[in-house]
Amino acid sequence: MISRRDFLQATAAASALVTSSGLGPLGRAAAQQKLSQAEILKFDPLGTVTILYITDTHAQLMPLYFREPSINLGVGEVKGQPPHLTDAEFRKYFKIASGSADAYSLTADDFVSLAKHYGKMGGMDRVATLVKAVRGERGDKNVLLLDGGDSWQGSWTSLQTKAQDMVDVMSALKTDAMVGHWEFTYGADRVKEIADKASFAFLAQNLRDNEWQETVFPGRKMFERGGAKVAVIGQALPRVAIANPRWMFPKWEFGIREEDMQKQVEEARAEGADIVVLLSHNGFDVDRKLAGRVKGIDIILCAHTHDAIPAPVIVNGTVLVASGSHGKFLSRLDIEVKDKKVAGVRYKLMPVFTDVIAPDAEMKALVEKVRAPFAKDLARVVGKTDSLLYRRGNFNGTFDDLICNAMLSERDVEIALSPGFRWGESLLPGEDITWEHLTNETAITYPACYRNQMTGAQLKEVLEDIADNIFHPDPYFQGGGDMVRTGGMGYAIDINKTMGSRISNMIHLKTGKPIEASKTYSVAGWASVNENTQGPPIWDVVAAHIKKVGTVRVAPNSAVKVTGA
């Protein structure tokens, strides 16, 4: 594993090749209340090749609010390094002014008041405007548009159309290539069907048929842009078969496959690649380790962990870029090639401020068309919230608290468990909760809300297993999600301890008594990876709860005590 000293030395050596064309000017413009589409697009061009990158949109076609995490802990050598910085520390590191547009888009600081000031972000019609503007500036033959995956899942319309709405939108954007994770939860047959017909490449060098160890999708594709050959290697989430139901793709297996990755790089170079790009759904810390071990990758486009980082991170000469999630950002990289090598990279993380960017007419019409059959359902009001509802954070999210409260009530249980998903929009106090809002938090292909019995020992085992998945000191053993959300119980966690010893002081909140290892508790949860799980879909459970309470009020959650951070 690359040491901190080696990391810093490699960063210093490579930094001369990488420049940023973003953050400062946008922050100043916002402070002066002059934020504009032109300012967002402003860029000092470099070389002849431009890569545009978007990732983890989670099927969000429309503008939304999305609060970044206020807690994003790193362990081991990455502690205190991007992306494991939040709020004031994040602003200090990247020199972001408090209250600025950058502070709003990149942190959780003063989120409600800044959201009211700067408005929603994203919307595929706004993304299309930026994409077309850059293509118009640089020329179609010089621009490559890449998607980091988790694009087909996360909305009611994507669920109902089996991702066809997103496939149509990605095709209209003229996406060149993508990789996958949640895409696989539509099942092997549906993913293959889309990949075979799509206008863009679906890449996965690390996916194999488990009988013959044959590749299922192409591992890489060579593009010619700006007079250069650009090899794009695709990496699906290595832990798909652990994080999601294996029975949906029973003949496929994944993994990091580091040696195969090195071969992909070497073969691409032998074929004449001037630029080697890894389009990766590994998660940022996994990519950081990979960059220190696999030689010859020029750029890694990171995904999965939803990190929005306004400047590249450089490891061993490889440029790592993280482009956020939910359509909030579009990354631009200009690349200069000399003597068949990358001589310079210039980068900008472009924030997609909905009220500032003019909607593209063609994309707007397409989005309206694909949403039309579901418009009445999407607009249906389920209730109202007096609290800020959000999902992101290592341990708690108020929307997750709402889901847990619903399971406790509607399933009549003592304890509720809700997965630590990173996707799902935020709602401001005073907003109506619509069916669209609710399903943006719950729309998956295995939504059954189960009810069963678990002992205290089993509950601890679950918490320990998930904690190790998040806080294992070796990134190759991390899965990239957040801790399971708990309702009806609290616990203490020391993130620096080892597997089996991180969790302690488990408390049943209703009685105030310790959770006993040998005692059995009634437990509800959802998104089980087990086949034939029984129970009502989680969206119906939450909708029934909201209907009963009318206006949602979620108190701050202090049931998880964190040490070692």
- DSSP3 helix / strand / coil % (the chain, rounded to 5): 35, 25, 40
Degrees to nearest 5, angle at CA 149 with 295 and 138 = 75
Q: Look-up: residue for tokens 């359902």?
A: 377
CB neighbours of 338 closer than 8 A, spacing ≥ 6? Answer: none
Q: Are 282 and 237 in contact (CB under 8 A)?
A: yes
**For residue 243, what are its two tokens?**
């994080």
Partner residues linked to 127 by β-bridges:
none
Q: For 86-97, give one letter per residue: b (16+ CB within 10 A) or e.
A: bbeebbeebebe
Identify the three-state secondary structure at position 548.
helix
Residue 5 to residues 9, 11, 207, 471, 472: CA-CA distances in angstroms? 6, 10, 34, 22, 21
- What domains sit in the chain, N to C, each tagged with a CATH number? 4-369 (3.60.21.10), 380-563 (3.90.780.10)
**For residue 45, what are its two tokens?**
């061009």
Look at strands 381-385 and 551-552 and give their pairing: parallel
Cis peptide bond upstream of 83, omega within 30? yes
What is the total residue count of the chain? 565
Indicate the Cα dihedral angle 124, 127, 128, 129, nearest 10°: 130
Q: Cα–Cα distance between 291 and 297 in angstroms, integer?
A: 7
CB neighbours of 37 closer than 8 A, spacing ≥ 6? Answer: 129, 356, 357, 358
Q: Look-up: residue for tokens 């005073």?
A: 430
DSSP class of residue 16? G
pTM of the entire predicted model: 0.95
**For residue 131, what are its two tokens?**
């994409």
| pLDDT at residue 14 in the model | 46
Q: Cα–Cα distance between 425 and 440 in angstroms, integer?
A: 7
Sign of CA dihedral 148, 153, 157, 161: positive
Residue of 262, 170, 169, 279 lying closest to 223 (CA atoms): 279
DSSP class of residue 126? H
Q: Are 391 and 420 in contact (CB under 8 A)?
A: no
Q: Look-up: residue for tokens 């048929």?
A: 209
Question: How many CB atoms lie under 10 A from the CB of residue 44?
Answer: 10
Average confidence (pLDDT) per 10 residues, the chain, 565 residues: 38 58 48 77 98 98 97 89 95 96 96 97 98 98 98 98 98 98 98 98 97 96 98 97 95 97 98 98 96 97 97 97 98 97 98 98 98 98 98 92 98 97 97 98 98 98 94 87 94 94 96 97 97 97 97 94 84
Q: Cα–Cα distance between 206 and 217 in angstroms, integer?
A: 9
Q: Cα–Cα distance between 347 and 13 in angstroms, integer?
A: 18
| pLDDT at residue 16 in the model | 54
Q: For 391-416, give one letter per residue: b (16+ CB within 10 A) or e.
A: bbbbbbbbbbbbbbbbbbbbbebbbb
**Extended strands (E) in 77-206:** 143-147, 177-178, 201-202
Q: What is the secondary structure of 378-406 as a DSSP string?
A: HH-EEEEESS-B---SSS--HHHHHHHHH
Helix runs in 353-489, H state only: 361-371, 375-379, 398-410, 435-439, 456-471
| pLDDT at residue 26 in the model | 52
Q: Cα–Cα distance between 83 and 93 in angstroms, integer?
A: 11
Q: Cα–Cα distance between 442 and 435 in angstroms, integer?
A: 10
Q: Cα–Cα distance between 160 and 445 in angstroms, integer?
A: 10
Q: Cα–Cα distance between 20 and 313 in angstroms, integer?
A: 11
Q: Look-up: residue for tokens 């060149």?
A: 176
